[in-house]
Amino acid sequence: MRSRPALQALGRLKPGTMNKTEAAYAAFLDTLVQCGDVLWYKFEGFKLRLADKTFYTPDFAVLRSTGALECHEVKGHWQDDARVKIKVAAELYPMQFLAMQPLPKSKGGGWKIEAF
């Protein structure tokens, strides 16, 4: 009987390091800065406390030209715990929480946006 290769998680990058999807989104934010829609953004700029020993770190803190501070989460695929954390954060904090998922080029590319 043949053994199957073990499935291995890709692992997490060290804090402050972007994955490919996050880097692509940062490039997109750079274009929004150039056209004036975004004044500033920071990758993993702050951590929000949700409960004792439970925190949520948005992928990007984004300051819009309107003065609104937004939290942007970039996901290729959602895990249940990540979706729960962003929903809880949206209930606790007076900011706009948005999730961004890349759209394939076959569907026109760009980003699918989900608001919480």
CATH number at residue 49: 3.40.1350
The answer to whether residue 3 sits within a structural domain is no
Nearest alpha carbon to residue 88 among 48, 61, 42: 48
* Burial class (CB within 10 angstroms; exposed 0-12, middle 13-18, buried 19+) of 60: buried
Asked if 101 and 112 touch (Cβ cutoff 8 Å), the reply is yes
Domain count, the chain: 1
Q: What is the mean pLDDT of the chain?
A: 91
DSSP state of 3: P
Whether 90 is in a domain gets the answer: yes
Q: Please give the average per-residue pLDDT across 19-45, as a whole number.
A: 97
Residue 84 has pLDDT above 90, yes or no: yes
Query: Is 1 inside a domain boundary?
Result: no
Q: Is position 9 within any domain? A: no
57 is in which domain, residue-wise?
20-115
pLDDT tens profile 6-29: 444 555 677 789 999 999 999 999
Residue 41 lies in a domain: yes
Residue 25 and residue 74 in contact, taking contact as beta carbons nearer than 8 Å: yes
> pLDDT of 53-66, one tens digit each?
999 999 999 999 99
- pLDDT, residue 11, reads 59
60 close to 26: Cβ distance less than 8 angstroms: yes
